[in-house]
Chain A
Amino acid sequence: MKKNSDAARFSSPLWRDRALASSAFSEMQKLCAAAVSKAGGEIAFMEVCGTHTMAIAASGMRRLFPKGLRMLSGPGCPVCVTSQGDIDRVLALARVPGVIIATFGDMMKVKGSKGLDLNSMRERGADVRVVYSPLDAVALAQANTGREVVFIGVGFETTAPVIAGSVIRAKKAGVRNFSSTSFFKLVPPALEVLLSDPGNKISGFMLPGHVSAIIGLGPYRFAAEKYRVPCVVTGFEPLDILAGINMLLKQVVSGRPAVEDEYFRAVPSGGNPAALKLIKEVFTVSDASWRAIGVLKGSGLAFSKAYAAFDAVKRFNIPYSDAPEPAGCLCGKILMGKSLPPECRLFGKACTPSSAVGPCMVSSEGACAAWFKYGG
C-alpha cells in the first residue's frame, strides 16, 4: 500500500484549480474545433482505465467538453473485463469445503452465470474475507494452517506484481496452504483488438496511468506507429485529464500520432523494472478470456512452471466453462467503446449499483456505476 507521503506528490489542490481548469477548457475549445475539421467529424477518445472513467464523472467535466468531443470508456476496469466463466470459477473456489477466499472488495458483488456473487456465497456459509493486499492473504494462511487460503488474483499489470511478490514470499516462507487465481489481463493486446476492428471509432487513447507506471511507454508504440492513433499516458486528477485530452487533440491536429506521457511525475518511459521482474519470475504470458471480447492470444498471465503449485485453479481442479453474459446487458459493447451506459435498456432500471446485472454497474470503477452515481 502506498503511503500518504507518496500521495502528496500526486494529489495537491493545484490539480483541481479552477482558473487552470478554465484555461485548459478554452484551449480545448480551439483544439477541438481544429481537430474536428481535420478529422472531418466527431473526435472520440477512449479512456482505457476505470479510474479515469470515475475521475471524469466525479469531476463533472463531461458537460464542459466542447461539442464534437466524446470520451468513451474502455476495457480497463479489472472487475468488468473478467469473463463470466472466470467469475464462475471464483464462486466454485468459494464452494470448496474449508477454503477461505481472500479478495479485493470490488469482487464481492460480481454475479456469476447463476446469479450468485461472493456476498451471497458468504450468506450461504462460504468463508470470504475482504483484504487490501495479497500479503494479508499470505498472513491469513499462516494464521490458519489447517485451512486453504485462496486469493482472487484479478486485474492488470498493476496488481500482478504485488501478487507475484506475495507468491514469492509464500514460497520462501514455505506457506503451502496459500494459492491464488491468475485471471490477469494485459492492456496492450486488448487495445490492439479494439484498433484492429475496422469499425472502431477511436480517435485516440487516454492511456492508464497506473498500468503505465509498471510497463512504461514502449508496449503502446504499435498503436501510434501501426494504427496511427494518438496516445497519451494520463494521470488521474482533473487537470491531468484535461491536459491529457488537449495533448491528444494536438496530436490529431498535427497529424503526428505518438505515445506521450502527461503523467511523467509517476510514469517513467521504461516503467518499473523491479515490478516487471517480479511478474516475469512468477508468471508467463498466456491467452486470457475477456468479457464480451473472448479469448485473446497473449493477453494474460499464467503461473510459470516454478510457481505452478500456487495456481488455485489447478490445485482445486476447477474447470473453465464458457458462460453467457446476462441477457440484455450491454457491458460488452460498453467495454469496447461501442455504447454508452444510458443506451442500455437495463441501465438505472433493472440494473443499479445495489442490484447490478452487469459488472460495469458493480465495480466502483465501472462505466455504468460512474454514469449512475454521477450522472455521466
Chain B
Amino acid sequence: MTGPGKVLLGHGSGGRLSRELVEKVFLRSFSNPALRPLEDAAEITVGGASLAFTTDSYVVTPVEFPGADIGRVAVCGTVNDLAVKGARPAALSAGFILEEGFPMELLLRITSSMRRAAAEAGVSIVTGDTKVVEKGKADGIFINTAGVGLIPPGRRLASAAVKAGDVVIVSGRLADHGVAVMNARNRLGLEGGIRSDAAPLNAMIEAALRVPGVRCMRDITRGGLATVLNEVSGACGLGAEIDEDSVPVAPATRKACALLGLDPFYVANEGKIALFAAPGSAEKILKALRSNRYGRRAALVGRMVKEARPRVRLQTSIGGARIMLSLEGEQLPRIC
C-alpha cells in the first residue's frame, strides 16, 4: 500500500481498498450485529418493527451533469439503499457542507432537484443540517443523506440467503452514470447523449418483491457490478457465472468505455440493482421490473454456482471465460 498509515483516494473507490478500510478501521471500532453484514442498509428492530437505516455522503465534480446532479444522486442513493433491503422509505435527512462563496442559485437548483427526486420516491426530507467552511476547505458542496424505512413483516433479504442455481438479474444498462460524470468533468466531448441513470428505484423494487423468490438485492454503485457480485459471492459462499452478452450496456457507453480504457463492469451506476432470485421466479421478476420505467431493460445475466473456490466468472462474447475481481483502487484512464 502506498504510504501506509495514510488514507488514499483508492480507499474511497468502493472497491477492495474501501472494503479493507471499512474492515480494518470502522468495523474494528463499531462492530455490532446490525453493522456486521455490511449491506447497503442496516436492519434494526424498534418496538417490534423491523427498520432499515442507512446513510451516505455525496461528493461529485461537477455538481451538475447530464441526467442528474449531486442532489438527485444524494436522494436516490439513500432511497435505493433502503429499498434493496426490502424497506419502504419513510423519511430522509439531508446535511450540507458548503464552501464559502458557493453560488446560492446553484444551491437552490440542487435542493429543488432533491425535492423532485424525493417526491418521485414518495418520501420527505424531514430534518437537516448545514455547515459552511472557509473557501478552499471543501469542494463547493458535500451532501450527506440518511434514511429510515419500514421492512414489512415477513420480508427477509440477505446476501447469505442466496442459493446455488439462483439467477442473477440486472435492472438495466450499466455504466451510464460513471461515464456521464467523467465526460462532464473532463469535457471529453463524447457523443451519444450518455446521461446519468440516477433514479429512485423503490417503486420498481416493490413491484419485483411482489414476486416470491427474491433472495437479495444490491444497489450497483461505486465499484460496479463486478464488485457487487464479488461481495455477494463472498457472503453466500457461491461462485457466479455471468454471460457477457446478456449484460446490458448502451452502445454509446460501451464505445466511450473502450476509448477511455474503462471496464463497464467496474463503472458506477446510481439507478441500477442486481437481484438474486430462485430460478423459477426469474420470468415473473423480469416482467415486474420491466413494467417500471427504470427497469425496462432488465435482463437475466447469470447464475450462482456451487464451487470449491467461489469466484465470479465471466463467459465472454467470443466463447471464452475469465474471472472478475472486485475493483482495485481507482479506475484510471489509460495513455494510448
- Closest beta carbon of chain B to A155's beta carbon, Å: 5
- Closest beta carbon of chain A to B325's beta carbon, Å: 6
Q: List 25 interface pairs A-B (beta carbons < 8 Å), by A numbering.
A: A1-B259, A4-B192, A5-B191, A7-B258, A16-B245, A16-B317, A16-B318, A18-B317, A18-B318, A58-B322, A59-B317, A105-B332, A106-B334, A117-B2, A119-B9, A120-B2, A123-B3, A123-B6, A123-B8, A132-B188, A156-B336, A159-B335, A238-B318, A353-B328, A355-B1
Contact with A along B252-266 (1 / 0, CB 8 A): 101110110101000
Q: Does B301 contact A (CB under 8 A)?
A: no
- List of B residues within 8 angstroms of A25 by Cβ: 319
Q: Of the candidates B6, B8, B16, B258, which one forms a contact with A11 in the assembled complex, judged by CB atoms under 8 Å apart?
A: B258
Task: Tell whether, in the assembled complex, residue A59 and residue B336 are in contact, meaning their CB atoms are under 8 Å apart.
Answer: no
Q: Does A349 contact B (CB under 8 A)?
A: no
Q: Does B316 contact A (CB under 8 A)?
A: yes
Task: Tell whether, in the assembled complex, residue B325 and residue A373 are in contact, meaning their CB atoms are under 8 Å apart.
Answer: yes
Contact with B along A38-69 (1 / 0, CB 8 A): 00000000000001001001111111100000
Task: Tell whether, in the assembled complex, residue B336 and residue A4 are in contact, meaning their CB atoms are under 8 Å apart.
Answer: no
Q: Does A22 contact B (CB under 8 A)?
A: yes
Q: Which residues of B contact A (CB under 8 A)?
A: 1-3, 6, 8-10, 16-17, 186, 188-192, 245, 251-252, 254-256, 258-259, 261, 263, 314-323, 325, 328-329, 331-336
- List of B residues within 8 angstroms of A119 by Cβ: 2, 8-9
- List of B residues within 8 angstroms of A364 by Cβ: 261, 331-332, 334
Closest-by-CB residue of B relative to A157 is: B336
Q: Of the candidates B8, B263, B316, which one forms a contact with A60 in the assembled complex, judged by CB atoms under 8 Å apart?
A: B316
Q: Does A109 contact B (CB under 8 A)?
A: yes
Contact with B along A220-254 (1 / 0, CB 8 A): 00000000000000001011001000000000000
Closest-by-CB residue of A relative to B329 is: A354
Q: Does A375 contact B (CB under 8 A)?
A: yes
Task: Tell whether, in the assembled complex, residue B333 and residue A104 are in contact, meaning their CB atoms are under 8 Å apart.
Answer: yes
Q: Of the candidates B3, B191, B323, which one forms a contact with A374 in the assembled complex, judged by CB atoms under 8 Å apart?
A: B323
Task: Tell whether, in the assembled complex, residue A105 and residue B334 are in contact, meaning their CB atoms are under 8 Å apart.
Answer: yes
Closest-by-CB residue of B relative to A130 is: B332
- Assembly CA distance A297 to B320 (angstroms): 41
- Assembly CA distance A104 to B186 (angstroms): 12
By Cβ-Cβ distance, the 5 closest A-B pairs, closest first, are: A60-B320, A105-B332, A21-B318, A60-B322, A16-B317
Closest-by-CB residue of A relative to B333 is: A105
- List of A residues within 8 angstroms of B9 by Cβ: 119
- Closest beta carbon of chain A to B106's beta carbon, Å: 21
- List of B residues within 8 angstroms of A59 by Cβ: 316-318, 320, 322
Task: Tell whether, in the assembled complex, residue A158 and residue B336 are in contact, meaning their CB atoms are under 8 Å apart.
Answer: yes
Majority SS at the chain A contact face: helix
Majority SS at the chain B contact face: loop
- Closest beta carbon of chain A to B242's beta carbon, Å: 11
- Assembly CA distance A364 to B262 (angstroms): 9
Task: Tell whether, in the assembled complex, residue B319 and residue A3 are in contact, meaning their CB atoms are under 8 Å apart.
Answer: no
Task: Tell whether, in the assembled complex, residue A61 and residue B336 are in contact, meaning their CB atoms are under 8 Å apart.
Answer: no
- List of A residues within 8 angstroms of B3 by Cβ: 120, 123
What 16 new A-B contacts, CB under 8 Å, besides A5-B191, A132-B188? A1-B259, A7-B256, A17-B317, A17-B318, A18-B317, A21-B317, A21-B319, A51-B334, A107-B335, A109-B329, A123-B3, A131-B186, A155-B336, A238-B317, A364-B332, A364-B334
- Assembly CA distance A123 to B314 (angstroms): 36
Q: Does A311 contact B (CB under 8 A)?
A: no
Q: Of the candidates B189, B252, B331, which one forms a contact with A1 in the assembled complex, judged by CB atoms under 8 Å apart?
A: B189
Task: Tell whether, in the assembled complex, residue B329 and residue A11 are in contact, meaning their CB atoms are under 8 Å apart.
Answer: no
- Assembly CA distance A5 to B252 (angstroms): 9
- Assembly CA distance A273 to B325 (angstroms): 42
Q: Does A177 contact B (CB under 8 A)?
A: no
Task: Tell whether, in the assembled complex, residue B190 and residue A4 are in contact, meaning their CB atoms are under 8 Å apart.
Answer: yes
Q: Of the candidates B245, B261, B315, B329, which one forms a contact with A353 in the assembled complex, judged by CB atoms under 8 Å apart?
A: B329
Task: Tell whether, in the assembled complex, residue B336 and residue A210 are in contact, meaning their CB atoms are under 8 Å apart.
Answer: yes
- List of A residues within 8 angstroms of B245 by Cβ: 16, 18
Closest-by-CB residue of B relative to A136 is: B186
Q: Does A352 contact B (CB under 8 A)?
A: yes
Task: Tell whether, in the assembled complex, residue A61 and residue B329 are in contact, meaning their CB atoms are under 8 Å apart.
Answer: no
Closest-by-CB residue of A relative to B314 is: A60
Q: Does A126 contact B (CB under 8 A)?
A: no
- List of A residues within 8 angstroms of B188 by Cβ: 1, 132
- List of A residues within 8 angstroms of B332 by Cβ: 105-106, 108-109, 130, 364
Q: Does A79 contact B (CB under 8 A)?
A: yes
- Assembly CA distance A238 to B319 (angstroms): 11
Closest-by-CB residue of A relative to B325 is: A373
Closest-by-CB residue of A relative to B8 is: A119
Q: Does A365 contact B (CB under 8 A)?
A: yes
Q: Does A78 contact B (CB under 8 A)?
A: yes
- Assembly CA distance A375 to B317 (angstroms): 17
Closest-by-CB residue of A relative to B194 is: A4
- Assembly CA distance A16 to B17 (angstroms): 32
- List of B residues within 8 angstroms of A354 by Cβ: 1, 10, 16-17, 328-329
- Assembly CA distance A125 to B328 (angstroms): 24
- List of B residues within 8 angstroms of A355 by Cβ: 1-2
Given known A120-B3, A132-B188, contact A78–B255 (CB-CB < 8 A): no
Q: Does A327 contact B (CB under 8 A)?
A: no
Q: Does A259 contact B (CB under 8 A)?
A: no
Task: Tell whether, in the assembled complex, residue A7 and residue B255 are in contact, meaning their CB atoms are under 8 Å apart.
Answer: yes
- List of B residues within 8 angstroms of A8 by Cβ: 255
Contact with B along A73-91 (1 / 0, CB 8 A): 0000011000000000000
Closest-by-CB residue of A relative to B9 is: A119
Task: Tell whether, in the assembled complex, residue B316 and residue A61 are in contact, meaning their CB atoms are under 8 Å apart.
Answer: yes
Given known A4-B255, A59-B316, A120-B2, contact A104–B322 (CB-CB < 8 A): no
Q: Does A265 contact B (CB under 8 A)?
A: no
- List of A residues within 8 angstroms of B336 by Cβ: 51, 78, 155-156, 158-159, 210
Closest-by-CB residue of A relative to B311 is: A375
- List of A residues within 8 angstroms of B334 by Cβ: 51, 104-106, 363-365
